[in-house]
Structure 1
Amino acid sequence: MKILATDLDRTLLPNGKWEGDGGAIELFNALTEKHDVLVVYVTGRNLKLTEDAIREYGVRHPHVLIGDVGTTIRKYEQGGWRFDEGWVTHVKRVSPRWDAARIKEAVFDVDGIKEQGSEHLNQFKQSYYVEHDRNDEILKRIDTLVKGRFDEVIVYSFDSVDNKGLLDFLPNSATKQTALEYVAEEFGAEKGQVVFCGDSGNDIFPLTAGFCGVLVKNADEQLVKNVKAVMDKNPNLKAYFARGDCKGLNGYYTSGVIEGAYHYGIFQ
């Protein structure tokens, strides 16, 4: 079993400020089909936004969609999506203190955050926009109100294209990392058989969880520093930093995903 998992925005999708390679998406589609790879998208996008991306950029449908920053899992079968109810049961069992409504109440008066629209929220995801230039102050305040009370993780990332700080409260059992571990176990794959590709702050967990990590060439500088810091403490951690020297590709976005897949032998 070979699993290639990848974030979407500015990882597989060329929607950042860097110039992507023409034809890279078509090559990704062809290579994953040729080499019989199980494709998993691991994204902050909800289902509608994921389908929008598939139509807009021409990327293939994945076999598995880990959406909403790891809080939902769907399988693509016979031309349609099947929601994984087992994942919901698992999260509720492992994170019994999780309560999105109580988290919302706890941070209601925090200055500098704004709740995201309902389409970006679900039973396991409470999300906000953050004034990025004040993020240290805001996150310290939030820690005092929330941290450790709700079986939660607090994930902060920065969207450099839209210049927005993004804050997600998630159950500690429903992150990009834990959802990918759940999928890998379901398909009988060990972590060393799973390649995960990312570019930004909320990819730090799966990139440092024991999978074969890939950081595309346009990865956020802070993410690169954080991953390297973890590697210094754990020499067994596998993380590959795309350079742009594979098959004539420049290493940005889709090309970095392809380069990483070749590096780990997903593509021969």
Structure 2
Amino acid sequence: MKPARKAAGKPLRPGSRARFLLCSDLDRTLIPNGLQPESPQARPLLRRLVKQAAVCLVYVTGRNQVLVEEAIEQYQLPWPDAVIGDVGTRIWSTLEGKWTEWHQWNQLITRHWPEDAPARIAAEVNRMRSIERQPDDRQTRFKQSYTCGLPDLDEHCARLRGCLLDCGLKVNIIGSIDEVTDQGLIDILPAAATKQSAIDMVMSAWGFHHWDTICAGDSGNDLPFLTSALQAVLVANATDEVRQSAVAMAEQQGQGANLYLARGGFWGMNGNYAAGVLEGMAHYLPHIRNMLK
């Protein structure tokens, strides 16, 4: 495996010996807050791996800064080098515990996103029934978030795409499922703001490549990067629907070889959550087995 290069002006943590980049979703991927059981040794093994400074760790999540910090403390997750948050609309470096926002990412996604975009989105949503706005702390200039009944999710997403395009807004609409509440979740973002494009920016800035980058996720809003040219891991606790969609999309795009489906059995673990992430990392990078001992 070729060593990762560090881009000038964007150093990793001081003294970093990071040889590969792990970009992982949090909820129901690293965080065991789904319905399936967790292998108790998984998160301690992940912490051990990150502590060895062999991994540059990036959390890719719908959570904001406050909720990411809460998750790290509550679930004893390793501290990351960066966070892609608010469903891909914000990037922070988090070296040495300091959150530093990447303003170049904001500039990129602002280009085709007018100041009145949130108000225009709200006006269109208000014309539709059975869609509820999420609390204010889940809203940002670049992310408008709603809930709806699960049977209506696909229809609402399709209708919103058409309505917002008609009124001149280029958007990225992410529909996903909250397994705990059994609700549909809708996030409306600038067209340029995707988790995958944010991951690409981090890779470019910090000198990582496709062969030394691994991405992990569990849900429908992770599908774009799970089915891309990146080495991807779908954890075993993903729903059958997401698993089938991931396989179909990856094969359709000629990326079937870049999608690993965790199934359990690695070091006696069940493949759910962090166990699945570690299993996928060992699949792509077999030498990490020695780092986990």
Task: Indicate whether the TM-score tops 0.5.
Answer: yes
Q: What are the within-5 Å matches in structure 2 for residues 46-195 of structure 1?
A: 46-93=64-111, 95-96=112-113, 99-147=117-165, 149-195=168-214
**CA gap 1:143/1:91 in 2 versus in 1, 3 angstroms:** closer
Q: Which amino acid aligns with 1:84?
A: W
What secondary structure sits across from 2:40 in the alignment?
coil
Whether 1:10 aligns to 2:28 is yes
- Per the alignment, residue 246 of structure 1 pairs with 266
Q: Which of residues 40, 55, 72 in structure 2 aligns to 1:37?
A: 55
What secondary structure sits across from 1:231 in the alignment?
helix
**CA gap 1:221/1:66 in 2 versus in 1, 3 angstroms:** same
- Which shifted more, 15-24 or 99-108? 99-108
Q: Which amino acid aligns with 1:60?
A: P
Equivalent pair of 2:210/2:230 in contact (CA under 8 Å): yes
Equivalent pair of 2:82/2:95 in contact (CA under 8 Å): no
Equivalent pair of 1:127/1:168 in contact (CA under 8 Å): yes
TM-fit CA distance, 1:134: 2.3
Query: Which runs of 4 or more aligned residues in structure 1 lie more than 4 Å from their structure 2 counterparts after TM superposition?
Result: none
**CA gap 1:199/1:236 in 2 versus in 1, 3 angstroms:** closer
- Per the alignment, residue 262 of structure 1 pairs with 282
Q: Which of residues 195, 201, 210 in structure 1 aligns to 2:220?
A: 201
Q: Which amino acid aligns with 2:260?
A: Y
TM-fit CA distance, 1:101: 2.3
TM-fit CA distance, 1:108: 1.6
TM-fit CA distance, 1:96: 4.5
Q: Which amino acid aligns with 2:63?
A: R
Q: 1:80 & 1:163 partners in 2: Cα distance? A: 36
Measured against aligned partners, the alpha-carbon deviations of 1:180-233 in whole angstroms (never above 9, x if no partner) come to 111111111223321110001100111122111100000122221111112332
- Which shifted more, 66-75 or 34-43? 34-43
Q: 1:78 & 1:256 partners in 2: Cα distance? A: 28
Equivalent pair of 1:112/1:138 in contact (CA under 8 Å): no
TM-fit CA distance, 1:85: 1.3
Sequence identity (%) = 36
TM-fit CA distance, 1:35: 5.5
Structure 1 unpaired stretches of 5+: none
For this pair of structures, how many residues does the alignment match?
267
Q: 1:184 & 1:211 partners in 2: Cα distance? A: 11
TM-fit CA distance, 1:97: 5.5
- Which shifted more, 77-86 or 196-205? 77-86
Structure 2 unpaired stretches of 5+: 5-19
Q: 2:146 & 2:223 partners in 1: Cα distance? A: 19
